[in-house]
Amino acid sequence: MKYLTLITLFILLVAGKVKADSLWIEADAKGQIGKAQTIKVIFGSYNQYRLQKVTGEFQEVKDFTCWIVSPSGKHISLQFTPKETDYQASFIPAEKGTYVVLLENKQRKVEDWSNSATKIGVAKQHYYARTVIQVGQEQVRAKETLTDLTIVEEPKSKTDSVVNLLVLLHGKPVPNATLFMRHPEMPEQKLITDQNGKVSFHAPKPGRYFALVTLKFDTPGTYRGVHYDVFREKATLTTML
- Provide φ and ψ at 109, rounded to 5°: -70, 160
- Compute the distance between CA of residue 164 and CA of residue 125 in angstroms, rounded to an integer: 27
Alpha helix positions (H), the chain: 2-20
CB-CB contact of 66 with 171 (8 Å) = no
pLDDT for residue 120: 87
pLDDT for residue 144: 76
pLDDT for residue 13: 33
How many other C-beta atoms lie within 10 A of the C-beta of residue 197?
21
Q: Rounded to the nearest 10 degrees, how much is the dihedral formed by the CA atoms of 48, 54, 58, 61?
A: 130
pLDDT for residue 16: 39
CB-CB contact of 222 with 231 (8 Å) = no
Give domain 2-240's CATH number out of 3.10.310.70, 2.60.40.10, 3.30.420.40, 1.10.40.30. Answer: 2.60.40.10
pLDDT for residue 160: 66
Go through the chain and tell me how many residues it has. Answer: 241
pLDDT for residue 157: 52
Supply the pTM of this predicted model.
Answer: 0.89
pLDDT for residue 5: 30
Q: Quick one: which of 240, 237, 144, 136 has its CA closest to 191?
A: 237
According to DSSP, the residues that pair with 215 across neighbouring strands are 233
Q: Domain-by-domain residue ranges, the chain? A: 2-240
pLDDT for residue 158: 55
Intervals of the chain under pLDDT 70: 1-19, 156-160
